[in-house]
Amino acid sequence: MRRAEARGGVEASEGREAEAPALDRDPTQLRGRLRWKWRRLRTGLRRRTAALPIVFGNAIPKSGSKLLFNLLLGLADVGPFVDTGLNEIKPYRRGRPTPQAWINAQLDALRPGDIRLGYLAWHPQAEARLCRDGWAVYQIIRDPRDILVSQIFYATDMHHGHALHEYLRSLPDMETRLRVMIEGIPQGPLQRANIREQFQRFLPWTQRPEICVVRYELLVAQPESTLDRMLAHLRARGFALSESEPAPMAKLKERMAPSRSETFRKGGAGGWREHFTARNREQFDRVAGDLLQVLGYDA
């Protein structure tokens, strides 16, 4: 899986549909489609005996996306699900907004049992697809303050090709880096939305009853109960487990190993307290408003 490109905005702009064919000609996309067809063929006989939903995992960047994605790909070990082998559907591709028409086509191409992953902000056309019958959709969320810290370390230490790598490393200290990430960058080539605006684009997904919201902190601290709820969401959408409950649970827990994520730095929750200064806390509260309360986190 490719690492998500770091951009502040996530909305696809209109008038870029001409770029869609170029995305489909990407070599990794073409290879992925070939793998997808082979995996569909290989699981075809089993698939005929199972009622399977389409599985889609959605994430805010650095919210624990790789953990969620690894778990969902592990469903191929639990039932006749198929990892499409395609890259995550991202809001930006090579620095330009991904056309919504291309995103729609990617979603429309999925068939029962397919597993696809992405970083999709809410959009009415995406909602019309993800929130219909026959889909099992998971949205992972995380404390925005921990996400900010993770974003900074990812950009400065782990991904040297990140759009903000040089800029963030040029800043004098962590307090200044956090200030920039909280406030956003209003204009220029590094333009980035502030923390409230970033989350605002994903919040509608957390309000849809058709979507299973996975809280990163609970997934790490209480994996059994969280995985049980995720499997229940799958069963409610037509999939009947053929094995005893402990077997799929054990297989999915194996997928949570940090070594399976190339972007893993530090698990757990609340690490933001080690990095936020009093000024950062005041600034976050001012910019984020009631975001923490809406998401169910303590201030």
Write down the pLDDT at residue 288: 97
Mean pLDDT of 127-133: 97
Mean pLDDT of 88-108: 90
Mean pLDDT of 189-202: 92
Mean pLDDT of 111-130: 96
Write down the pLDDT at residue 189: 85
Distances (CA, A) of 178 to 128, 174, 258: 36, 6, 25
142, 267 contact by CB (below 8 A)? no
Q: What long-range pairs does 270-277 form, CB within 8 A, spacing at least 24?
A: 270/143, 270/146, 271/146, 271/149, 272/143, 272/145, 272/146, 272/148, 272/149, 275/149, 275/174, 275/178, 276/145, 276/178, 277/175, 277/178
Both structure tokens of 110 = 């999925």
For the segment 13-48, what is each residue's pLDDT rounded down to a tens digit?
A: 333 333 444 555 555 455 555 555 555 555 554 554
Band of pLDDT at residue 290, cut at 50, 70 and 90: very high
Q: Residue 36 and residue 187: Cα distance in Å, rounded?
A: 40
Return the closest-CA partner of residue 198 out of 10, 69, 23, 31.
10
84, 116 contact by CB (below 8 A)? yes
How many CA atoms lie less than 13 Å away from 5 in the CB half-sphere?
18
Q: Domains of the chain, with CATH numbers?
A: 1-142+207-265 (3.40.50), 147-199+269-299 (no CATH)
Write down the pLDDT at residue 60: 93
Neighbours of 298 (CB within 10 A): 7
Contacts of residue 223, defined as CB under 8 A and 6 or more positions apart, other chains included, come to 253, 256
Write down the pLDDT at residue 107: 97
Neighbours of 251 (CB within 10 A): 16
| Crossing angle of helices 246-254 and 223-236, rounded to 10° | 120
Distances (CA, A) of 291 to 23, 94, 146, 170: 34, 30, 14, 29
The pTM (predicted TM-score) of the whole model is: 0.82
Q: Residue 60 and residue 203: Cα distance in Å, rounded?
A: 10
Write down the pLDDT at residue 40: 58
Q: Residue 85 and residue 98: Cα distance in Å, rounded?
A: 19
For the segment 230-246, what is each residue's pLDDT rounded down to a tens digit?
A: 999 999 998 887 655 55
Neighbours of 176 (CB within 10 A): 13
Mean pLDDT of 172-179: 96
Residue 250 has pLDDT above 90, yes or no: no
Residue in the structure block whose two tokens are 């290879």: 31
Q: Residue 59 and residue 119: Cα distance in Å, rounded?
A: 5
Average pLDDT of every residue of the chain: 83
